[in-house]
Amino acid sequence: MGRAARIGTLCLSGGEQKNYSSVTAMIRAQGMWFKDAEGRTLILRGVNLGGSSKIPYTPRVELSDPRFYNDRKVSFVGRPFPLEEADEHFTRLREWGLSFLRLVVTWEAIEHPGPGEYDNAYLDYLCAVIQKAGAYGFQILIDPHQDVWSRFTGGDGAPGWTLEALGFDLTKLRETGAAMLHDWKKDRPPLLIWATNYARLAPATMFTLFFAGNDFAPETKINGVSAQEFLQQHYLAAISQLAVRLREMPHVIGYEVMNEPSRGYIGWKNLKSSGQFRYWPTPSPYQGMLLGAGLPQRVWFKMTNVKRERAWLPDANCIWKENGVWDFDSRGQPQLLRPNYFTSVQGRATSFRGDYYPRFARRFAETIHQIDPRALIFVQGEPGEPAPSVNAAELPNVVYAPHWYDGITLMVRRYLNHLGVNMLERRVVLGAGAIQQSFAAQLNVFRHEALHELGGVPVLLGEFGIPFDLHTRPFLRAADELLTTRALDRSFRALDANLMSGTLWNYSSDNTAERGDSFNGEDLSIFSRSEQNDPTDINSGGRALRTVARPYPRAVAGEPLYLHYDWLTRVFEFEFRHDPAVSARTEIFVPQYAYPDGIEVQVSDGTYEVRERALIYLHDAAHELHRIVIKPRA
């Protein structure tokens, strides 16, 4: 392969809303790749916007505030940021090359006033934000976000009335162990403790009813409608309210079915057994049912619910007692009647990933495609679990969007250069080189699943990132910045090695040192107001920018083959095989942050020009393979 070397410099001029990318048309899925209207292969890089969108903008209250449970009188207008701040944040994200936005939207934000009552002020505001994003050249994925069902079960997502409609008393969930909630300013519990809620009574019940209520809770109805149908109808109708407003915006490319769905109790083999995630004292499902009924239980070494509070409203009873899972015997003692109740239906083994999730995903896709036939549908399995059995032949326009994190760094909030974990195989990995290889191999599993399980579809890594409160030492700020850069770069290098699209978790416009991302003690935002020393500098407040603001191929006139970037030397290398049917040029994003003095470009053939944070390359069709190298200008 011949090499021709030329020198180029970045053009830093541009209008207030000038778009640095030529990728503006609707994105489509073709085989394992994203494609634009000109047939170029796209590698989408962006960010989740934003972490604080999980909670209302007004009022901003903690659990200890009585207004916390006044959940129908809240507003999410201002999430992800007030409209008057949009220019600032979009300019910053565009400057860093994060041109693809996974927009966090909760069901609660849309339908918090009550069943069928929509917050039109929020919908209008959100559409204005999305419209402005389009003017800046962003593509948008709508993420109907949830974590452990709802704010009232320790996470975010569904409105409080969904729990009340099934008989739960929101104010008693914490005391009965039905959900773990914290006042994070006071309690300071361990990070990720909220995830133990997946096995607790309230979230596990709601997920089971949502996906499989017809099979497992046939006796449970709301005004004559099954719990499953009631919940799914309202969820789909809420997302449809947004989809109707967005269908004329071509930069809104698609919708996720649901963020990090959970099986609830589906497939639980023994209700007396606790789950695998034994990170914190958590009752078994059966204990959780008894605790919710007001019966104290010893969970690990501590008696729980000694005050005999009930998780249910006065006129409601335990759903699982009513559906024959447990009952009281003749002596008034509780007894588990069907310990493996959730493992089969009429003799057929149950499968969340093989049956219930795919069934709902198809219903979701049908609903969205009735409104917007061009929309891509993004699916994912439970975190750490295999891909759902959703095949491209049955579900058109599907994309696989799993999540993956550097597990050790996330859990212990430390950067350990020689200690890692394979999150998929649940094993420890030792040695810096082995860790990097393991990270790349773990992401490659997703590509394998997309090909062999889903029938050959694109992959978007929907979430990856690190906590930025590593080794918190204010007097060693520069050293900590180096650690976070090294930690996050391992994930980026794994992404590059797989030529994979991805969206960082996350960008929170109101992140501060005190509140983090405003959700459960997390601090993963790549921007923080507390670290913004110079508001006139668009990069001020950015975190780990030496790896975040990195060059990458946005649009390729063929098949990407190799991608590597070294944040220390700032050397970028890319190789691809051109497609004879594509005449458009290849586009590389080149961040001004990484190359303030310009760039030196080496290409194997063809010609190029540098403009507006981008290298535009026209290959020589006489050569099949092409190579581009970018270095800092000497």
Tokens representing 134?
Answer: 């389009």
Please state, in angstroms and rounded to a whole number, the distance separating the CA atoms of residues 383 and 423: 9
Q: What is the pairing mode between strands 501-507 and 45-49?
A: parallel
The single-letter code of the amino acid at 595 is: Y
Helices vs strands, H then E, count in the chain: 14, 30
User: What is the three-class DSSP state of 230?
Assistant: helix
Tokens representing 313?
Answer: 């409203």
**Closest listed residue to residue 446, CA positions, set 365, 353, 354, 383:** 383
User: What is the three-class DSSP state of 517?
Assistant: coil
- The b-or-e profile of 452-489 (16+ CB within 10 A means b, else e) is ebbebbbbbbbbbbbbbbbeeeeeeeeebbebbbbbbb
Phi, psi dihedrals of residue 233, rounded to the nearest 5°: -60, -45
Please state, in angstroms and rounded to a whole number, the distance separating the CA atoms of residues 205 and 401: 25
Q: Is the peptide bond before 144 cis (omega within 30 degrees of 0)?
A: no
Q: Tokens 């996330």 sit at which residue? A: 410
Alpha helices in 106-165 (DSSP H): 107-111, 120-135, 160-165
Please state, in angstroms and rounded to a whole number, the distance separating the CA atoms of residues 223 and 138: 43
Contact of 593 with 549, CB cutoff 8 Å: yes
Note if 85 is an active site residue.
no
User: What is the three-class DSSP state of 218?
Assistant: coil
Tokens representing 542?
Answer: 């950015």
Please state, in angstroms and rounded to a whole number, the distance separating the CA atoms of residues 383 and 251: 28
Q: Tokens 């009429």 sit at which residue? A: 346
Phi, psi dihedrals of residue 342, rounded to the nearest 5°: -90, 10
One of 260, 449, 522, 575 is an active-site residue; which one? 260
Please state, in angstroms and rounded to a whole number, the distance separating the CA atoms of residues 308 and 85: 49
Contact of 292 with 284, CB cutoff 8 Å: no
Note if 463 is an active site residue.
yes
Please state, in angstroms and rounded to a whole number, the distance separating the CA atoms of residues 48 and 142: 10
One of 309, 463, 522, 575 is an active-site residue; which one? 463
Query: Cα dist. 281→76, 270, 273 in Å?
Result: 33, 18, 13
Tokens representing 604?
Answer: 């194997």
Looking at the annotation, which residues are catalytic? Answer: 260, 463
